[in-house]
Amino acid sequence: MRTEFLRSVQSAVRRSNYASSTRNFSSSASNPERKVTVLGAAGGIGQPLSMLMKLNPLVSTLSLYDLAGTPGVAADCSHINTRAQVSGYMEDKDLAKALEGSDVVIIPAGVPRKPGMTRDDLFNINAGIVKNLCQHVAKHCPNALVNMISNPVNSTVPIASEVFKEAGTYDPKRLFGVTTLDVVRAKTFYATKTGLSVEEVNVPVVGGHAGITILPLFSQAFPQANLGEDDIVALTKRTQDGGTEVVEAKAGKGSATLSMAYAGAIFADACLKGLNGVPDVVECSFVESNVTELPFFASKVRLGVNGVEEIHGLGSMSDYEKEGLAKLIPELKSSIQKGIDFAHKN
């Protein structure tokens, strides 16, 4: 039964493109050595994310760090019969060992959203955590690809960029805000509404990673379906409010931890494939960009051996999407500046 279950999980994983490296490499033995570090590994996102990275055949070393509980998470993950060797770290003095030699650093550290919590509330707690961790990243693994999950991403990515600039290690090609969950939601909601197979659906999501800054481009969805404007508006709003939907459904007992871990694992897998030279790896991500007037923006990004290899433009947009873009710019601009200001003042 356990073997059948594992096979079913692996089959689902392949269909979702996660760990699709099995289609590009004959076996884990042919894959390069890659170290992935998860900062915040014992949290609600960190634990399932750590497990999913343990399942990824591209990971040879999995390093887990958090303020508490990490040895248990590491021990648990280490029993899974896959390639990656797992180590757990729990004290500040161990951060250097956790980070050294990392190819990809994933940061889900911080507190999750709770009912009634504003983005400002979240910022006030998580901004300092992110800044501290990024200072260690700059010191111990300056060439790693950094996947920022800690919210609010619209502000924490700019914080990270300023920390790296101050340390003299900033490479815009190696810093990513993980917006994959917005894409995952848009695909799911679109497929459900249209009756299409979710495995075949693709929907680009641009902008930022909070509220109205999330802009799914359903006009560019594939395959195309004949949806009315009311349907598009409803799908857009549901995608934008997806996090709130889960927070309210969990009634104060958590946020979108499982779907975020899944999305984080998909994006980390894409980064690893890019590093390994797999061609045409494209995901949406919040990166330094000149696609708009803003210094950071989420759009399709082609990943490669240097991180960002190409940033795609927005393409053709509907009038509704153009209106959404105009509305999100001021809010996203404010969030970005808030992160930059925090990095300089604290």
Which residue numbers are catalytic? 209
How far is 152 from 157, CA to CA, in rounded Å? 9
The DSSP code for 51 is: H
How far is 262 from 162, CA to CA, in rounded Å? 28
How far is 152 from 119, CA to CA, in rounded Å? 7
CB 37 within 8 A of CB 84: no
Structure tokens at 308: 């960002």
- Count other Cβ atoms within 10 Å, centred on residue 340: 17
What's the gap between Cα 249 and its chain centre? 22
CB 81 within 8 A of CB 2: no
Matching residue, tokens 């709130």: 244
Cβ partners under 8 Å of residue 44, min gap 6: 112, 254, 255, 257
How far is 227 from 305, CA to CA, in rounded Å? 39
Task: List, in sequence order, the alpha helices (H) in 152-225.
Answer: 153-167, 180-194
Q: Report, in angstroms and rounded to the nearest whole number, the Rg of the chain calculated over CA atoms.
A: 19
> Is 7 exposed, middle or buried (CB count within 10 Å of its CB: 0-12, 13-18, 19+)?
exposed
